[in-house]
Structure 1
Amino acid sequence: MPLPVRTRADACPGVLAPHDAADGALARVRLPGGLVTAAQLRVLASCAEDLGDGAAHLTSRGNLQLRGLDRDDPRLVSRLVDAGLVPAPSHERVRNVLASPLSGLHGGLADVRGLASAFDEGLCARPGLASLPGRILFALDDGRGDVAAEEPDLCWVATGPSEGFLQVAGVATDVSASRQDAPELLLTAAEVFLTLRAADEVQAWRVRELADAPGRIAAALDEDHDLGGGSDVPGRAGSPDRDHAAPAGPIGERALGVAPVLGELSAGQLRALADTGDPAIVTPWRTIVLPSPAPGARDALRARGLVVDPDHPALGVSACAGRPGCAKAHADVRADARALIELGVTTTAHVVGCERRCGAPHGPHTDVVARPDGRYAIDGTPVPDLFTALARTQP
């Protein structure tokens, strides 16, 4: 496959550089490792309520978005900076780092808790890394292969409690580092990426857009390199299973998995999460993990309309913004997706308003795309009625 030719810098939105959507400005709030405190959840709730559309929206990179904003209103930036959610304005858009959300709680080979924060501090302390593209994605995988499956550009994958290797654009290298040195390895690899990008004189938005990126980055880090790239690399098989994806309901001995319907959290639900667990971990699968939920948290969150049961039909359905939030959408896909949930459809489906397929999960799923005539195509085949067609797929 030919490498894409970029003619401009990427324009991923942030807090300081929001995106103008059909329903107002959209601001993306980065949460390295998905970690967010109860105090920060309450600030986000007030921002959504006072300044936006009343909700926060989870993203496929473990971040949050606020929609329906006035880009000229200075209160959003002020509140988020005060809450510690924008610690380095110059690096705001490049703070994209995943960490296995169940690490130290249930499963995995190594405990990667704290590594995302250490990486973020190191990232923000290096002025040169502010020039990274906003699309770049880092990950710290505890060996279970969950975040390695999310197509990160640069990923440290544990092979035991205290050791691991570098994965570049999905390819394993023999460049290794200890658990405590993993953040430094990723930061150095990011600097190598920028050096190679400049040498190639290209505007690559992702590491894989550089020619032979795994080999060249590995060579720069370790002259005696030998690419692995075999099928046994964690995460290369594709979709993480339900244990990896932090399912709804009890997890391990104490943690609780919570899923907002279609990844949307009302201001009231944000406050309910703040009241029942501190901190919370936002996952790349639009779920939330409460490592230490308060007594009665599951019932309290269920009463707030959040999914806390592993067999709920909402867990299999996701959607893009659709109308009226996106001018390119051909349908109100979120309303249709909610109708599918009410119908009890158990097929894993992603419903989108156009061929761009924004927010699509990386794993296997039914592809539901709105057409210009307002009808849908399922896995490329136009259907006269979405609900009837998907109902027929039920086991």
Structure 2
Amino acid sequence: MRSSTPVPPAVRGWCPSLAEPLASRDGWLVRLPVGCRPVSSDQWRVVATLAETRGNGLVEITRRGNLQVRGLAVRHLDRTAELLAGAGLANRNPAADGQRAVVCDPLLDIGASPDRASARREVVRRLEQLVVDLGDGLPAKWWAVVDGGGPWPVPTSSADVAVVDHGSSWQVRVAGAVVASAGDPLAILHAVAAVIRRCADAGCRARDLPGVADGWGPMRSEPVEREAWWGIRKVGDRAVAPGAPPLGVATADALHLLARVAEGPVSVRPEPGRGVLLVASGEEAADAGAAELAGTLEQLAAVGWVVSPRDPRRWVSACIGSQGCPSALVDTHALARARLADTRGRRLHISGCPKRCGAPPGVRELVATPDGLHVEEVG
């Protein structure tokens, strides 16, 4: 299954965007900085239509809850950028787009009081503005998280900055470690601004700052101990359920289905597990919302999505592999399908080259190298 690689594996210092698309093995790639925010019916339809008419029909959901349209022809890039920007899915000027660096907890507004939900939204807005005002010089892979502390896990430990709502207090974490805490969410934003300034001045990620805790007191790690569930649950007054395309790659047909779902009383939100969260409208009773979601899950299962806790595909992830990346040494998706029976309820990620793109923390990883396949543990 090994193939030659014309492009030596190398970690890129930037992320593909409307302004800077990426040339890959299967065509050009653009990333839409959704950041786990709800995507409207019209927006899903725009992405699906572009994927099937200008791309190769495939859209990835990333570990930061973004969308990637694959297989675009160079002649379609300008029109694609125009349509996506017009749909509010991206900005053609990344320097003016604070949203590109800020990922939201997909359940940020769920299970909280109206005042608390409003405060969370204000934190997101101000953090996005801080990135625009202070972020000139930030590396392209720098990112921040606003986490509502709810039941769905978000990757705060790998973010440069995370603002976490603990209910009684708000907390700032830098590269996974706690550096500030306060009762007023706006009072801790000065610590966030300081991190942004220092990273922008140094042109580096927060984890690479010398003496990262200077001025904030001793750092202490506080891991997030939450696990994703499968099936329908009640969160606050809403019914919520996850669904995921196999290996995070959705077809245009499946996205058209999401567009139809989002026309009704269900919000569809990309999430960090490379899938979506379906949230029933608050106007419905919880039981009615659960019934609505059950029907939606049946439709997703019919197009091949993972919706059940018994589906072994939920334990396996992979980079795009040799089907889409010129650096990949193997067909990672074929390897993933072949190893489903070996997971035994433990996460496995398959990387097509030593770059190890998209590997989640704390999993067993199968890495392709010129010397063969190697098993590694990702911390």
Query: Is TM more than 0.5 here?
Result: yes
> 1:56-103: CA deviations, max 9, x gaps?
101111111111112442111011011011246233487222222234
> Is 1:316–2:315 an aligned residue pair?
yes
2:178 is aligned to: 172
CA shift, 1:159, in A, is: 2.5
Q: Secondary structure at the match of 1:291?
A: strand
Residues 127 and 81 of structure 1: is their aligned pair in 2 closer, same or farther, counting only changes over 3 Å? Answer: same
2:143 to 137, 143, 146: 137
> Is 1:196–2:193 an aligned residue pair?
no
1:265 is aligned to: 250
> Is 1:75–2:79 an aligned residue pair?
yes
1:279 is aligned to: 267
Check conservation: 1:22, 1:325, Cα contact below 8 A: yes
Q: Secondary structure at the match of 1:336?
A: helix
Q: Secondary structure at the match of 1:309?
A: coil
Residues 175 and 212 of structure 1: is their aligned pair in 2 closer, same or farther, counting only changes over 3 Å? Answer: farther
Instruction: Report the residue type matching 1:10 in the other structure.
Output: G
CA shift, 1:319, in A, is: 0.2
Instruction: Report the residue type matching 1:369 in the other structure.
Output: V
Structure 1 moving runs of 4+ over 6 Å: none
Check conservation: 1:129, 1:190, Cα contact below 8 A: no
2:220 to 205, 213, 230: 230
2:277 is aligned to: 289
Residues 256 and 176 of structure 1: is their aligned pair in 2 closer, same or farther, counting only changes over 3 Å? Answer: same
1:392 is aligned to: none
CA shift, 1:285, in A, is: 1.4
Matches of 1:9 and 1:24, distance apart in 2: 17
Gaps of 5+ in 2: 1-10, 281-288
Matches of 2:252 and 2:333, distance apart in 1: 18
Residues 370 and 118 of structure 1: is their aligned pair in 2 closer, same or farther, counting only changes over 3 Å? Answer: same
Residues 51 and 92 of structure 1: is their aligned pair in 2 closer, same or farther, counting only changes over 3 Å? Answer: farther
CA shift, 1:313, in A, is: 0.7
Residues 198 and 271 of structure 1: is their aligned pair in 2 closer, same or farther, counting only changes over 3 Å? Answer: closer
Residues 318 and 114 of structure 1: is their aligned pair in 2 closer, same or farther, counting only changes over 3 Å? Answer: same
Check conservation: 1:368, 1:379, Cα contact below 8 A: yes
Instruction: Report the residue type matching 2:81 in the other structure.
Output: V
Residues 24 and 241 of structure 1: is their aligned pair in 2 closer, same or farther, counting only changes over 3 Å? Answer: same
Q: Secondary structure at the match of 1:323?
A: helix
Normalising by structure 2, we get a TM-score of 0.80
Instruction: Report the residue type matching 2:172 in the other structure.
Output: L
Matches of 2:42 and 2:350, distance apart in 1: 33
Instruction: Report the residue type matching 2:319 in the other structure.
Output: C
1:305 is aligned to: 304
Q: Secondary structure at the match of 1:249?
A: coil
CA shift, 1:130, in A, is: 4.7
Check conservation: 1:248, 1:287, Cα contact below 8 A: no
> Is 1:249–2:237 an aligned residue pair?
no
Matches of 2:175 and 2:274, distance apart in 1: 23
> 1:319-371: CA deviations, max 9, x gaps?
01111311221111112212333788543100111111110001x22211123
Deviates more, 1:302-311 or 1:31-40: 31-40
Deviates more, 1:111-120 or 1:282-291: 111-120
1:151 is aligned to: 158
Residues 304 and 119 of structure 1: is their aligned pair in 2 closer, same or farther, counting only changes over 3 Å? Answer: farther
1:91 is aligned to: 96
Matches of 1:198 and 1:336, distance apart in 2: 40
CA shift, 1:175, in A, is: 4.3
2:7 is aligned to: none
Residues 357 and 77 of structure 1: is their aligned pair in 2 closer, same or farther, counting only changes over 3 Å? Answer: same
Check conservation: 2:59, 2:69, Cα contact below 8 A: yes
Instruction: Report the residue type matching 1:261 in the other structure.
Output: P
Residues 282 and 29 of structure 1: is their aligned pair in 2 closer, same or farther, counting only changes over 3 Å? Answer: same
Matches of 1:134 and 1:369, distance apart in 2: 25
Normalising by structure 1, we get a TM-score of 0.77
2:352 is aligned to: 353
Instruction: Report the residue type matching 1:270 in the other structure.
Output: L
Matches of 1:137 and 1:77, distance apart in 2: 22
Residues 171 and 120 of structure 1: is their aligned pair in 2 closer, same or farther, counting only changes over 3 Å? Answer: closer
Residues 291 and 25 of structure 1: is their aligned pair in 2 closer, same or farther, counting only changes over 3 Å? Answer: same
Q: Secondary structure at the match of 2:256?
A: helix
Q: Aligned-pair RMSD on alpha carbons?
A: 3.0
CA shift, 1:26, in A, is: 1.3
Instruction: Report the residue type matching 1:368 in the other structure.
Output: L
2:26 is aligned to: 23
Check conservation: 1:14, 1:93, Cα contact below 8 A: no
Instruction: Report the residue type matching 1:166 in the other structure.
Output: V
Check conservation: 2:98, 2:130, Cα contact below 8 A: no
1:372 is aligned to: 370
Check conservation: 2:315, 2:347, Cα contact below 8 A: yes
Check conservation: 2:243, 2:306, Cα contact below 8 A: yes
Deviates more, 1:166-175 or 1:256-265: 166-175
1:12 is aligned to: 15
Instruction: Report the residue type matching 2:138 in the other structure.
Output: L
Instruction: Report the residue type matching 2:144 in the other structure.
Output: F
Q: Secondary structure at the match of 1:45?
A: helix
Q: How many residues align?
A: 344
